[in-house]
Amino acid sequence: MVFLPALFTNSAEVVAMMGSFLPFMCVALLIHTASMATEGMLLAGQHLTIPHLAAPHLLLCAMLVGSPRLLPALCTALLLFPGCI
């Protein structure tokens, strides 16, 4: 409640009480953010495997071998969506 302590209440007791809880809420927010980021990295690590990385490239090679006339369309797709392949 450092900025605008009377924004939600005019009670000095409530402002003082929230001021005393502020350090604990800041620490809780930092811990929550760190734990959610760590969980996201763990979940992403489970889903990011070699077959998931290699599959788009293998599909691209198979499409080129099967029909070489697709080369301009595939090059356009690579230019438009570089993260997909």
pLDDT tens track, the chain, 85 positions: 456 666 778 888 888 888 888 888 888 888 888 888 888 887 777 766 666 666 666 777 777 777 777 777 777 776 666 555 4
What confidence score (pLDDT) does residue 23 get? 87
**pLDDT computed for residue 9 by the predictor:** 81
* Whether residue 4 sits in one domain with residue 44: yes
pLDDT of residue 18: 83
* 5: containing domain: 1-48
Do residue 25 and residue 44 come from a single domain? yes
Residues 17 and 37 occupy one common structural domain: yes
pLDDT of res. 1: 42
Contacts of 57 (CB under 8 A, 6+ apart): 85
Structural domains in the chain (count): 2
The counts of H helices and E strands in the chain are 3, 0
pTM: 0.44
